[in-house]
Structure formats: C-alpha cells, structure tokens
Amino acid sequence: MPISKKWSKMTRAKIEQTAPTAGGVYELTSFGKSQPLYIGQTDDLRRRLLEHLENRNPNRFRFKKAGFLTRPKSMEKDLFENYESKYGGVPSWNEQDPRTSLF
C-alpha cells in the first residue's frame, strides 16, 4: 500500500519533530519531483532519515510506520511494486531492488 502522507520538507528539525524511532518505510524526493527518487525501509525511521539528510540532497520525505503485524521489509516490497506499476522500473536513487535480494 502506498504512503498516503503528504511530502514534508526535509530538515533536521522536521525529521526530529515528526519521524518516530520505530520501524517503517520511507520515500525521498528532490528538486520538485512528485515521484519518489528513493524508497527504503528501516528499524528506526528518525535515525535513517537523518542519515539520508547528510548523505544525499533530498528536500522532501514521507514515511509510514510499521504496524504490529507488518514488517518494514514486506512494506518496502509493496512500495516497489506500486512504484513499478505506476512509473516502471525502480526509483533512480535506489541501487538495488529489494525484491531480487536473497535476504
């Protein structure tokens, strides 16, 4: 299921204010793009988004926290499938499609 939240401005303050330290999935975009440039999953959304803030140049993000019965990895696979059906391929900042990894 896609992330239904609106894009948020990617600043340290916004991430610390809104992103939980729980697991989930997230999308990054930049330069006025309406589609995700990166899809990821993590066990700590706040930590991972802050890492991206320092390592890339995203200017917007959105996320979805994992629920009691949902795992970030399976949520990420769903996001990739939705992305592929809408845009074709994988987001340009993703180096690997998690659906093809062995782990």
Instruction: Name the band, by pLDDT with cuts 50, 70 and 90, for residue 66.
Output: very high
The domain locations on the chain are: 8-84
Q: Which of 13-22, 53-62, 93-102 has the lowest mean pLDDT?
A: 93-102
Which CATH code for domain 8-84?
3.40.1440.10
Strand order in the sheet with 8-9: 8-9, 60-65, 24-29, 38-42
**Taking the CB of residue 83, how many other CB atoms lie within 10 A of it?**
20
* Nearest by Cα to 40 from 14, 18, 66, 16: 66
Q: Please give the model's pTM, rounded to 2 decimal places.
A: 0.90
pLDDT at 103 (0 to 100): 47
